[in-house]
Structure 1
């Protein structure tokens, strides 16, 4: 059974939270929910997603743990009781789209904001790929492609010494686009999913997609997933949907983990 979501502006107000907060939406039988939009991955949704397996081909999406040699924000170089995250993945391959229309791809180590219009145009160019409630969205920005092709000095300048990154535009239009599609999780190959730095809030308590997805909606975020092989497989097969599994490390209360992700076609 699909959840029925109110319009963004019609969501019940939550004290001390911005309009659009989904706290309490998934509560059931007087029990406080703790897994947010993972609730969208119902047995029915997972079973339907298994129909994406048609060839048996599979692609691992974990970037090797030692790949990012110069992490930002002082990070070191190094929730699972539900059985991981399993469902239908949908890739929006922005790198492919920019090449297809003859546009020079933006520098992934710059603060380029991918707009809703660009996301929609890329989906349309992928044979009209459609998204649906409970999908796991993946966006290929070219960040890892740039990193893999760079020298160590370039990597250090582009990551550790740089607080800019390509990503989804941290704008109200993006928030509403994501809300209207009710993804179970949102993933990108860049450092933060959203573009950095984040602009002024323009009247919202925050335009950080991190705040909205993780805090207000309970939607898991995936960063620095290796989508290079996935992009190639999707282009070769002419389809950008697939069965996706992700098994984070089984650490109670853990806030981050390697994704343990595999896409199966």
Structure 2
């Protein structure tokens, strides 16, 4: 199927649209983007990764950031209440869908200069303004129909760069290059296959878990916020475009933040290609297990919440890890 997508050098497909877009590749009304790469044969093949039935959850708890979430997002609230006279409880959860582990959907981040989301959708289509009828177009509920299911690979950059003796500042703007990620895959002996779901362990969670509350408060107050992540470059875009159906990591922005270019990868991945971006995945247990068994590919399952017109969603995700025992 890899030969059925345009080469990176062929982008943009819509010559009247923003840079590097793939608009129209799957039709003007498509809402799946690169999830179209998860064809039945690719998912069926990925099921061969299940060899032991071991399962590892990568969802960070919804309340993990407590009352100190980054990017000014609202904290998670849980209200448990009894329904007298019966001995019965209900609960109500109130939270920002991006305050913990998350998939960024196609309504989240537009091309900033052009003000266009995937396939040319505008704010007016989403909010029903300026005489345009409000719709659920590009809502994350479309991804819930078949989920984000296939072969996942963990590229454990954190483990690799420690062996290299390379410094890493999770809370400073820094770049993880495409060359770095290819080197990680080679060192692990991990073959990258078309349609893979890319998961990157950058070391953010390891660093975050060592912070005091006072240190988190100081970091939250920085403007702009700064994080190490994948770099904004043609090499990185080609690496992502040519191989993956979705990409996620353990830190708040996936890419280096703030962007080092006049554009952000969020624009190209979400608004240009329709490629899901995962953030704040808890990869510590997964990284330890993959290291233990010496294998970093697995069957990946994640079903975003079925909310028509939703912007983002908890991933409800995990892996069914195999090993060759």
**CA positional deviation for 1:15:** 4.5
**CA positional deviation for 1:161:** 3.4
Q: Where do residues 150-169 of structure 1 align in structure 2 (5 Å cutoff)?
A: 150-161=211-222, 163-169=225-231
The equivalent position to 1:98 in structure 2, one of 149, 161, 181, is 161
SS of equivalent to 2:47: helix
**CA positional deviation for 1:119:** 0.8
Aligned match of 1:242: 298
Aligned match of 2:29: 32
| CA distance in 2 between partners of 1:103 and 1:46 (Å) | 36
With normalisation by structure 1, the TM-score equals: 0.90
SS of equivalent to 2:165: coil
Q: Please tell me whether the aligned partners of residues 62 and 226 of structure 1 are also in contact (alpha carbons under 8 angstroms).
A: yes
User: Does residue 74 of structure 2 align to residue 76 of structure 1?
Assistant: yes
| CA distance in 1 between partners of 2:9 and 2:53 (Å) | 43
Summarize the Cα distance change of 1:186–1:168 in structure 2 as closer, same or farther, 3 Å threshold: same
| CA distance in 2 between partners of 1:121 and 1:84 (Å) | 30
Q: Which runs of 4+ in 1 moved over 3 A?
A: 159-162
Q: Please tell me whether the aligned partners of residues 13 and 22 of structure 2 are also in contact (alpha carbons under 8 angstroms).
A: no
Aligned match of 1:56: 53
Q: Where do residues 220-259 of structure 1 align in structure 2 (5 Å cutoff)?
A: 220-259=276-315
Q: How many residues align?
A: 254
SS of equivalent to 1:73: helix
With normalisation by structure 2, the TM-score equals: 0.74
Report which of the two has the higher share of strand. 2
Aligned match of 1:215: 271
CA RMSD in angstroms, aligned pairs only: 1.7
> Which structure 2 segments of 5+ residues have no match?
76-94, 96-139
| CA distance in 2 between partners of 1:186 and 1:224 (Å) | 12
The equivalent position to 2:150 in structure 1, one of 79, 84, 87, is 87
> Which structure 1 segments of 5+ residues have no match?
none
**CA positional deviation for 1:13:** 3.9
**CA positional deviation for 1:155:** 1.6
